[in-house]
Amino acid sequence: MVKYHGLARRYLTVRGFLMRPLLNGGTLGGPTMGADAFAAFYGIRLMIDGDEDEDLEPYEDESHEDIRRAHDEGLDTYFGRLTDGEPYFLLVGKRLAVLGVENEPDCVISDGEFARITAEVRRKLAAAGLKETPALHLQLDAQY
């Protein structure tokens, strides 16, 4: 768990599956369109083939094998795309923060905590059978 500092002064739970705006009206702002957000995520990025509902449904309902294996190991997932017409992606690892007007205003993670997170994510990705090299992903989630 990462402690968030600032106006919220609370702990943010990190388990969550974010859905694409076309089906639920917004990935981060709830059921209605909201402001753009910025996600900070440590892990891997998988590109999703296809953009038909039947291609995307296993990602949205969390039934895809990669998502189930990740969740079984305690990893977070983030499914989305930058904006309409862009390819879909799946981030697998540790959700560090989602920042924006309708989300958290800021986030602080110490060097020691980040080192612990990176080691834990690498171990869990290997246990889940995901071989890609993890990295820090900073992702704009534009509302469209």
- pLDDT tens digit string along 61-84? 888 989 999 999 999 998 887 877
User: Quick count: other Cβ atoms within 10 Å of Cβ 103?
Assistant: 20
Highest mean pLDDT among 55-59, 95-99, 140-144: 95-99
Q: Residue 85 — very low, low, confident or very high, per pLDDT cuts 50/70/90?
A: confident
Q: Tokens standing for 29? A: 């702002």
- Please state whether the predicted TM-score (pTM) of the whole model is above 0.75: no
Is residue 12 situated within a structural domain?
no
Is residue 64 situated within a structural domain?
yes
| Total of domains in the chain | 1
Is residue 51 situated within a structural domain?
yes
Is residue 31 situated within a structural domain?
yes
Q: Is 74 exposed, middle or buried (0-12, 13-18, 19+ CB in 10 A)?
A: middle
The per-residue pLDDT for range 106-128, each reduced to its tens digit, is 999 999 999 999 999 999 999 99
Is residue 37 situated within a structural domain?
yes
HEC letters along 21-85: HHHHCCCCCCCCCCCCEEEEEEEEEEECCCCCHHHHHHHHCCCCHHHHHHHHCCCEEEEECCCCC
Q: Letter for the amino acid at 30?
A: G
What backbone phi and psi angles, to 5 degrees, belong to 90? -130, 120
Instruction: Give the mean model confidence (pLDDT) for residues 29-46.
Output: 77
Is residue 8 situated within a structural domain?
no
Is residue 16 situated within a structural domain?
no
Domain that holds residue 85: 21-141
Is residue 69 situated within a structural domain?
yes
